[in-house]
Structure 1
Amino acid sequence: MDRPDLPLNALRVFEVAMRQGSFTRAAIELRVTQAAVSHQIARLEDFLGSTLFLRTPQGLVPTDEGQLLFPVLEQGFEGIARVLDRVRGHREVEVLNVGVNTTFALGWLLPRIERFHQDHPEIDLRISTNNNRVEILREGLDMAIRFGNGGWTGHNSMPLMETPLSPFCTPTIAARLRQPSDLCQVPLLRSYRSAEWPGWFEAVGAICPPVKGPTLDSSVALAELATFSAGAALLPVPMFQRYIELGRLVQPFGDAVNAGRYHLTWPSDRPATDAMGKFAEWLTANGATDPSDSADENHTN
């Protein structure tokens, strides 16, 4: 099949600009100047005879032509990258880029990462951590593990572990606690999810005192603050067993309330690769899913 002279550099720049939603961010990813990005986009538009972006005060808005071109280029470059990774050095290796909620990464995945490498040496697993804010396509990821209800528009999701919350504190503070209501005498460390402490106190039949102090966006940060005897932190129990094993924190009460669960998610309009399927299976086989869940239970939203 005859092909015209393809402007590959310009096509690559366009793919990154679409994914990043900004010439500035595209320039950062490509390690070039913003002017170079603009030049390549203008060159591609001249080649096609079509406008690909509308420049508005709110940022770049892709035209119909841009939206038509993007998925083809994205899948094409993804396929090229995978093949190159496999043949480089004559190794049969597939790269898998996964964004992972920091709490899940530190509390469950990273302690088991060597086991994954042993089970699947053919997969080059690359992890990017986040505080539950992730855009799979824009960040160049294949999948993401995040906390929520599974209802992410345009994404498939596989339910993983539930996250029952319970108070954690240092042994020194725990020595002063006899019943849940005694927590009223202790500073309650708070996350941006303001309903968590009231929900826990309601579950144990006690009145929740005012929750004051700085608001943190990470359970890991809350746990670290609690280790300095700054107060009690309400944490997902399965993710912080290591703190208990090391004696840094204790769980003074067994009462826990379910706050939701983690999910493995991926775009519903992109075909799952072999590595994606193996990663999902490995999570199930190694206890990242609750026993009551079906191993192949997926939700499309």
Structure 2
Amino acid sequence: MDLPLNALRAFAVSARHLNFARAADELHLSPTAVSQHVKNLEARYGVRLFHRLPRGLALTDEGRAILPAVAASFERLAESLQQLRDGCPRETLTLGVVATYAVGWLLPRLAGFQAACPHVDLRLQTHNNRVDLAAEGLDAAIRFGDGHWHGTQAVPLLQAPLAPLCGPTLAARLRRPQDLMDVPLLRSYRVDEWDRWCAAAGVRVPPLRGMVFDSSLALAEAAAQGAGVALLPAVMFQRDLAQGRLVRPFEVEVAVGRYWLTRLASRPASPALASFEAWLTAQTLTGNGPQAV
């Protein structure tokens, strides 16, 4: 496509200054030349882009309509040229992350990833473990489960067994697992978690009724505020445990899944995703980086 780049640049700079003379100073042209570029652009597309006023310019509706696209295009072009100068092209990685993992494990370590891979611009979107990679335009997603999601390739990350957590006042009433019969048990949308934990603890399942949460972060906050006892991945709430907002009354835990890095099996990993996967796997294996405490 034959685009009038000089005229579009003259329009974008003039729109920023709303003055041909100031635009001319920036472009190292004469005001007449800038004005002519804009006139040529208007003539080419049969629209007026500016109202010429005694003391400057004002954008017409047509000028306001195209300005964001024109300005953004020149910004992206400048960024691309800067990457060539730097000798390392930048890449964008769009990642969906289950919110519990994002807050409890990933965010405290992201500075390490930025230092290791400064050429990758990471875009995070949190979710509650329900995610559609293709529909949401994600390069990859971190989620919790058994690793079996149709059409995906899954790389195992952190194991995170569930344990009962609650606020300190309620914890003082819990001396043995049987005491759970007398307190509210908070639940997630995974309906069998308490059944499996009670089987591991050797006690019968208390009556399960009351609040159900689709977010472990909300579940943990409700437990910290005294609403009941929640089954949570304790490794993701080390900060709250260290601060005493949450207490772990029993050591019994149950594994119902782990965290996985997933991507569409039909789409090869980009260099940015390969870099992130290598960094993330190394961090998971070694435990390097600042801890979430």
TM superposition score normalised by structure 2: 0.68
CA distance in 2, matches of 1:190, 1:88: 52
| Aligned partner of residue 248 in structure 1, secondary structure | coil
Instruction: Give 1:86 shift.
Output: 6.6
Aligned residue among 130, 140, 144 for 1:143: 140
CA distance in 1, matches of 2:81, 2:216: 40
* Counterparts in 2 of 1:258 and 1:155: CA distance versus 1, 3 Å: same
CA distance in 2, matches of 1:111, 1:185: 37
| 1:87 has 2:80 as partner | yes
Instruction: Give 1:238 shift.
Output: 1.2
* Counterparts in 2 of 1:254 and 1:236: CA distance versus 1, 3 Å: same
Task: Find the counterpart in structure 2 of residue 184 from structure 1.
Answer: 181
| Aligned partner of residue 126 in structure 1, secondary structure | strand
* Counterparts in 2 of 1:268 and 1:205: CA distance versus 1, 3 Å: same
Task: Find the counterpart in structure 2 of residue 121 from structure 1.
Answer: 118
Instruction: Give 1:152 shift.
Output: 1.6
Contact 2:145/2:256 (<8 A) preserved = no
Alignment of 1:13-162 (within 5 A): 87=80, 89-90=82-83, 92-162=89-159
Contact 2:163/2:248 (<8 A) preserved = yes
Alignment of 1:248-287 (within 5 A): 248-287=245-284
| Aligned partner of residue 160 in structure 2, secondary structure | strand
Contact 1:86/1:94 (<8 A) preserved = no
Structure 1 regions of 5+ residues with no counterpart? 6-82, 291-301
Instruction: Give 1:161 shift.
Output: 1.2
| Aligned partner of residue 257 in structure 1, secondary structure | coil
Larger Rg: 2
CA distance in 2, matches of 1:220, 1:258: 19
RMSD in angstroms over aligned alpha carbons? 2.0
CA distance in 2, matches of 1:115, 1:85: 27
Instruction: Give 1:120 shift.
Output: 1.2
CA distance in 2, matches of 1:194, 1:271: 35
CA distance in 1, matches of 2:151, 2:102: 24
Instruction: Give 1:277 shift.
Output: 0.7
| Aligned partner of residue 250 in structure 1, secondary structure | coil
CA distance in 2, matches of 1:266, 1:84: 29
TM superposition score normalised by structure 1: 0.66
Contact 2:113/2:279 (<8 A) preserved = yes
Contact 1:186/1:232 (<8 A) preserved = yes
| Aligned partner of residue 223 in structure 1, secondary structure | helix
Aligned residues: 209
CA distance in 2, matches of 1:186, 1:126: 41
Structure 2 regions of 5+ residues with no counterpart? 2-75, 288-293
